[in-house]
Chains A and B, each alone.
Chain A
Amino acid sequence: KAGVTQTPRYLIKTRGQQVTLSCSPISGHRSVSWYQQTPGQGLQFLFEYFSETQRNKGNFPGRFSGRQFSNSRSEMNVSTLELGDSALYLCASSHPEVNTEAFFGQGTRLTVV
């Protein structure tokens, strides 16, 4: 069974640009959550999508957005990038009806210069 796959693994962007990250969940998992990991703030919840709907949202500005497709794949978008957006972005998928465990992808390392 394939794990959670995130693409790309690494990205370098310039301040003011926008970026789109992709996450393919484990087959059958309909819940996809996104987290930002930085040395200073740790792991912070961004949002969760379930059946193409944003079900939960963390405390991040509106520059951070996401969506989920009918095959449960999810994308997150960050517009008007700031230096402080440099981080490891992790997505996690789960199948809440069967098991509560969240499985993480390897993450996308975003560097804003």
Chain B
Amino acid sequence: GENVEQHPSTLSVQEGDSAVIKCTYSDSASNYFPWYKQELGKRPQLIIDIRSNVGEKKDQRIAVTLNKTAKHFSLHITETQPEDSAVYFCAASKNNAGNMLTFGGGTRLMVKP
């Protein structure tokens, strides 16, 4: 089955710096790659997603890039703010949908003011 690895497991940055989280996946049939943010004690919430027919997608300070050949995708957060502090999960799916997701292990991002 699909396996998703995520690095780093923890990331500490200064406010205003950029943060990059990387994920690799094993199944070349995967075609949908969402990123979720989970604050302490709260539900995971989608922050951005990308499909396999797109190489890059941007939404304000957040961007995701996908390299299908290398089977990896990355989350980029620019101008980080303290409220960006949370655990971020990458995921992959073969159904081009979010109904059956394989998650990475998560990255705890800490933004220091």
Contact = CB atoms under 8 A, between A and B. Distances in A.
A9 B100 CA distance: 23
Contacts of B54: none
A46 to B, nearest CB: 10
B49 A101 contact: yes
Contacts of B44: 43, 90, 104
B52 interface: no
A50 B36 CA distance: 23
Contacts, number: 66
A94 B105 CA distance: 22
Chain B, interface SS category: loop
A101 B103 contact: no
Interface in B30-54: 32, 34, 36, 42-46, 49
Interface in B61-113: 89, 91, 95-106
Contacts of A59: 1
Interface in A38-66: 42-45, 48, 50, 55-56, 59
Interface residues of B, number: 24
Residue from B101, B102, B105 whose CB has the most chain A CB atoms within 10 Å: B101
Residue from B46, B96, B100, B103 whose CB has the most chain A CB atoms within 10 Å: B100
Contacts of A45: 100-103
A33 B89 CA distance: 17
Interface string A87-109: 00010101010001111111100
B43 A102 contact: no
B44 to A, nearest CB: 5
Which 5 A-B pairs have CB atoms at the shortest separation, nearest pair first? Answer: A102-B98, A43-B103, A104-B43, A100-B97, A31-B99
Interface of B: 1, 32, 34, 36, 42-46, 49, 89, 91, 95-106
Given A96-B97, A102-B101, A105-B43, 10 more contacts: A31-B99, A33-B101, A43-B106, A55-B99, A59-B1, A94-B99, A101-B46, A101-B98, A102-B46, A106-B42
